[in-house]
Amino acid sequence: MENRKTIIEGRGLERYYHRGNETVKAVDGINIDIRTGEMVSVLGPSGSGKTTLVHLLSCLDVPTGGTLSVEGTAVTGLSEDELAGVRRKTMGFVFQKFYLLPTLTVAENVELPLLFLREKPDRALTLDTLRKVGLEDRANHLPNELSGGQMQRAAIARALIIKPRLLIADEPTGNLDSANSKSIFDLFRNLVRDQGISILITTHNLALGYLADRIITLQDGKVLKEERQPIK
């Protein structure tokens, strides 16, 4: 496990907000590493700082203190577009809301990140990606013709199309029922096992969170505990 390559390395990460005269320490001096081929879940109650931490680690937000490197490169102090460049090379994203574009087909939605990379879509690759998430027969459907679980799978396929080393999923099952939620976590496990990618997940659902290889529990912006499970 320790020999695995580190994708994200955060040291002394802080994210403070000012609310009037009060300073809110959403993330308060966290050290964290994400390595290849592991599934890490971040748990904690509302306001514990898990979403803020994931936003920092995924270069969507900028820490007010500490250092962060992605694949060995320090990203602290980069501009918004430079951070976007880091994300598009390394990370795929899945959110609680699926944010599929309603006028594009499932396949076109999946190919959307390639538009920003100025890469010509390869329909065979798109279909292969959709096959990995079990949606190969829905390629030409519009999002409103899919169920909630299928829409989230399409969003996962959209994240996978750029072959990310790290998939970041912020409350990916927040809008799904328990059966679909379990199915999405099973899909994540398969992706880690078969594709060797890393997955960083935040969830309120403890049972699902404990399906990860490593579970980091936050409280008041600090790591309360970190648990490891045998690699599945």
Our finding on whether 99 is near another protein (CB under 8 A) is yes
Out of 115, 206, 224, 231, point to the residue binding another protein (CB under 8 A). 115
Our finding on whether 207 is near another protein (CB under 8 A) is no
Least separation in angstroms between residue 172's CB and another protein is 13
Our finding on whether 16 is near another protein (CB under 8 A) is no
- Contact mark string toward another protein, 54..83, x via CB under 8 A: -x--x-xx------------------xx--
Our finding on whether 142 is near another protein (CB under 8 A) is no
Q: Which range, of 32-40, 95-103, 144-152, 182-190, touches another protein by CB under 8 A?
A: 95-103
Contacts with another protein: how many residues (CB under 8 A)? 31
Out of 139, 162, 200, 201, point to the residue binding another protein (CB under 8 A). 162
The identity of residue 225, as a single letter, is K
Chain residues binding another protein by CB under 8 A are 55, 58, 60-61, 80-81, 84-85, 87-88, 92-93, 95-97, 99, 101-104, 108, 111-113, 115-117, 121, 158-159, 162
